[in-house]
Amino acid sequence: MSPADAVNALSSALVAGFDPADDLSRVVNPIDKGQLLLMPSEVGTGIGIKVMTLGRDNPERGLPVIQGSYLMFDGDTLAPTAVLDGAALTTLRTPAVSVVGIRPALERFDGPLRLVVFGTGPQGTSHVDTLADVVSEPFADVTFVSRAPENVGDDVTFVSRAPENVGDDVISRGSVVAAGSPELDAVLTRADVVVCATPAEEPLFSADAVRSDVVVIAMGSHSPGAREVPGALMARAQVVVEDVETALREAGDVVLAIADGDLSRDDLLLMKDVVRGDAELDPSRPLVFKTVGMPWQDLAVAQVVLERATR
């Protein structure tokens, strides 16, 4: 399943009428070595639950932070039908969600996109992979921002196209700049799309560092006390969320902006309305999509995977 396929699966679920406000609740349980996450959902005739662990000390052991499984069940009999790799599913659907939420806004740009990506890990690169699979031409440039560029090197690789035959993938490279450097200011002023894929608790850049028509994906922080985007940018942007109640509970970028008086609940646009064309986007204003991830997204992608596997 290509990144573009995942984007289309999510869009199709929303266009078909699914409302993220009807999704089942995610449960996050703290455990001794990290967290246990349970993400159940029912979309159409599909039923599934993701069972994941977040291992706090795993990076020091050379192990992945996120591990787990996705369990699927028959919609009529509730019998188990499939088990998917939970981490692989998460890596595929997370950037697909981000792209679904901003794809209509990409029409405001003429020519190849200029990207700035905060975060050089799997989520940072997978967001570039997914964007590359849905735009019509190669990027003008891609710049990754790192707090420790000496640990990354001079460039970061990503897949610039993801055709059916994976062996034909084109590996491209994005340059790396240090967070807080003069080089960062220069690339931000040119950026069409800014991706924030970090665990930061404070804003990654200043509001006046980006253009008035910039599109921002903020997906790294998912607690009410952490944010990647400055409140001053939220104040002048159109802000899109997956679901209002979920955002007010988990999206620090939204929660803190509202607390500071930069944003109000009534300002928020819904992802489903953007996808369905029911929300009017202003190309002269920044667009910020704040996503925290919801259970329905895993199921929407997993359903298509299962359909293809059982043809």
Q: The domain that contains 34 carries what CATH number?
A: 3.30.1780.10
- Distance (Å, whole) CA 64 – CA 54: 9
Query: 205 with 211: CB under 8 angstroms?
Result: no
What sign results for the dihedral spanned by CA atoms 44, 54, 249, 89?
negative
> CA-CA distance, 59 to 273, in Å (whole number)?
39
232: its two tokens? 């001053």
Tokens of 216: 């921002």
Check whether residue 152 and residue 12 sit in a common domain: no
Q: Are residues 24 and 54 in the same domain?
A: yes
Residues 53 and 129 in one domain: no
Q: Are residues 52 and 156 in the same domain?
A: no
Q: Are residues 152 and 195 in the same domain?
A: yes
The domain of 139 spans: 95-293
Domain check: are 111 and 151 in the same one? yes
Task: Verify that 121 and 24 share a domain, yes or no.
Answer: no
* Tokens 């196209």 -> residue: 161
Residue 89 sits at φ, ψ, to 5 deg, of -65, -40
Same-domain status, 267 and 283: yes
CATH code of the domain containing 104 = 3.40.50.720
Residue 289, phi then psi, degrees to nearest 5: -105, 115
Query: In which residue are the tokens 């679904």 written?
Result: 100
Q: How many domains does the chain have?
A: 2
Residue 180: partners with Cβ closer than 8 Å, 6 or more residues away: none
Please list the pLDDT of the chain residue by residue as tens digits (311 residues): 899 999 999 999 999 999 999 999 999 899 999 999 999 999 988 999 999 999 989 888 888 888 999 999 999 999 999 999 999 999 999 999 999 999 999 999 999 999 999 998 888 999 999 999 999 888 999 999 988 776 666 667 666 554 444 445 555 677 888 888 888 989 999 999 999 999 889 999 999 999 999 999 999 987 899 999 999 999 999 999 999 999 999 999 999 999 999 999 999 999 999 999 999 999 999 999 999 999 999 999 999 999 999 88
Helix (H, G, I), strand (E, B) or coil at 46: strand
What 8-state DSSP symbol labels residue 108? Answer: G
How far apart CA 36 and CA 209 sit, in angstroms, is: 38
Q: Answer yes or no: do 82 and 213 share one domain.
A: no
Provide the sign of the torsion angle of the four alpha carbons 139, 145, 149, 151, taken in this order.
negative
Distance CA 63, CA 174 (A): 25
Which is nearest to 2 in space by CA: 124, 137, 122, 164? 164
**Quick one: which of 8, 51, 7 has its CA closest to 29?**
51
Of residues 160, 167, 87, 153, the one with CA closest to residue 122: 87
Give the pLDDT confidence score for residue 166 in this predicted structure.
45
Please indicate, yes or no, whether residues 176 and 265 belong to a single structural domain of this protein. Answer: yes
Strands 114-118 vs 80-85: parallel, antiparallel or unpaired: unpaired
Q: Judge if 66 and 49 occupy the same domain.
A: yes
pLDDT value at residue 157: 67
| 191 and 229 co-located in one domain | yes
